Chain A
Amino acid sequence: MIGISGVSKSYGQTVVIDDVSLTLPKGGLTSIIGPNGAGKSTLMSMIARLLPIDRGTVMVDGLDVALTAGDALAKRLSILRQDNHLAARLTVSDLVSFGRYPYSKGRLTDEDRGHIERALTYLGLDELKHRFLDELSGGQRQRAFVAMVLAQDTDYMLFDEPLNNLDIRHAVAMMKLLRDAAKDLGKTVVVVLHDINFASCYSDHIVVMRRGRLFRQGVPEEIIREEILIETYETDFKVRDMDGNRIATFY
Chain B
Amino acid sequence: MKSLIPALLLIFCLAVVSLFVGVSDVSLWSVLNGTADQRQVMILLASRVPRTIALLLAGSGIAIAGMILQMLARNRFVEPSTTGTVESAGLGMLVVLLLAPDMPVMAKMLVAAVFALAGTGMFLAVLRAIPLRSVLMVPLVGIMLGGMISAVTTFFAYRFDLFQSMGAWANGDFSAVLRGRYETLWVAFALTIAAYIAADRFTVAGMGEEFSTNLGLNYRRIMAIGLVIVSMVTASVVVTAGVVPFLGLIVPNIVSMAMGDNLRKSLPWIGICGAGLILACDIVGRTINAPFEIPVGTVLGIIGSLFFLYLLLRRQSRVA
Give the interface of A toward B (CB within 8 A). 45, 48-50, 69-75, 78-79, 81, 86-91, 94, 98-99, 101-102, 105-106, 132, 152
Which chain B residue has the least Cβ–Cβ distance from A79? Answer: B214
When the two chains form their complex, are residues A74 and B215 in contact, meaning their CB atoms are under 8 A apart? yes
Partner pick for A101 among B76, B215, B261, B262, CB 8 A cutoff: B215
When the two chains form their complex, are residues B75 and A87 in contact, meaning their CB atoms are under 8 A apart? yes
B101 at the interface (CB under 8 A from A): no
Chain B residues whose CB sits within 8 angstroms of the CB of A98 once the complex forms: 200, 203-204, 207, 211, 215
B167 at the interface (CB under 8 A from A): no
16 further A-B contacts with Cβ under 8 Å, apart from A75-B216, A90-B207, are A50-B214, A74-B216, A78-B214, A79-B214, A86-B207, A86-B211, A87-B74, A88-B71, A88-B203, A88-B206, A88-B260, A91-B260, A91-B262, A94-B262, A101-B200, A101-B217
When the two chains form their complex, are residues B75 and A70 in contact, meaning their CB atoms are under 8 A apart? no
Pair count A-B, CB < 8 A:
76
Partner pick for A87 among B76, B199, B204, B264, CB 8 A cutoff: B76
Which chain A residue has the least Cβ–Cβ distance from B202? Answer: A88
When the two chains form their complex, are residues B214 and A48 in contact, meaning their CB atoms are under 8 A apart? yes
Chain A residues whose CB sits within 8 angstroms of the CB of B209 once the complex forms: 50
Q: Give bound CA distance, A49 to B215, whole Å.
A: 11
When the two chains form their complex, are residues A71 and B260 in contact, meaning their CB atoms are under 8 A apart? no
B19 to chain A minimum Cβ distance, whole angstroms, is 36
Known: A49-B213, A50-B213, A88-B203. A94 touches B218 (CB 8 A): no
Partner pick for B217 among A71, A75, A90, CB 8 A cutoff: A71
A135 to chain B minimum Cβ distance, whole angstroms, is 10
When the two chains form their complex, are residues B264 and A89 in contact, meaning their CB atoms are under 8 A apart? no
B138 to chain A minimum Cβ distance, whole angstroms, is 10
Q: Give bound CA distance, A70 to B214, whole Å.
A: 8
B61 to chain A minimum Cβ distance, whole angstroms, is 21
In this complex, the member of B201, B207, B214 whose beta carbon has the largest number of chain A beta carbons within 10 angstroms is B214
Chain A residues whose CB sits within 8 angstroms of the CB of B208 once the complex forms: 86-87
Which chain B residue has the least Cβ–Cβ distance from A73? Answer: B216
When the two chains form their complex, are residues B256 and A89 in contact, meaning their CB atoms are under 8 A apart? yes
Number of residues of chain B lying within 8 A (CB) of chain A: 26
A91 to chain B minimum Cβ distance, whole angstroms, is 6
When the two chains form their complex, are residues B214 and A74 in contact, meaning their CB atoms are under 8 A apart? yes
Chain A residues whose CB sits within 8 angstroms of the CB of B216 once the complex forms: 69-75, 101-102
Chain B residues whose CB sits within 8 angstroms of the CB of A87 once the complex forms: 74-76, 206, 208
Q: Give bound CA distance, A119 to B261, whole Å.
A: 22
4 A-B pairs with least C-beta separation:
A74-B216, A106-B200, A71-B216, A88-B206
B159 to chain A minimum Cβ distance, whole angstroms, is 42
Partner pick for A132 among B75, B260, B264, CB 8 A cutoff: B260
Chain B residues whose CB sits within 8 angstroms of the CB of A86 once the complex forms: 206-208, 211
B228 to chain A minimum Cβ distance, whole angstroms, is 20
Q: Give bound CA distance, A102 to B218, whole Å.
A: 11
Chain B residues whose CB sits within 8 angstroms of the CB of A48 once the complex forms: 213-214
Chain A residues whose CB sits within 8 angstroms of the CB of B201 once the complex forms: 106
When the two chains form their complex, are residues A90 and B262 in contact, meaning their CB atoms are under 8 A apart? yes
Chain B residues whose CB sits within 8 angstroms of the CB of A50 once the complex forms: 209-210, 213-214
Q: Give bound CA distance, A75 to B204, whole Å.
A: 16
When the two chains form their complex, are residues A94 and B213 in contact, meaning their CB atoms are under 8 A apart? no
Q: Give bound CA distance, A48 to B215, whole Å.
A: 11
Chain A residues whose CB sits within 8 angstroms of the CB of B264 once the complex forms: 106
A–B complex contacts, Cβ < 8 Å, 9 sampled: A49-B213, A50-B214, A75-B216, A87-B75, A88-B261, A89-B256, A90-B207, A90-B262, A106-B201
Q: Give bound CA distance, A45 to B213, whole Å.
A: 11
When the two chains form their complex, are residues B261 and A90 in contact, meaning their CB atoms are under 8 A apart? yes
B102 to chain A minimum Cβ distance, whole angstroms, is 44
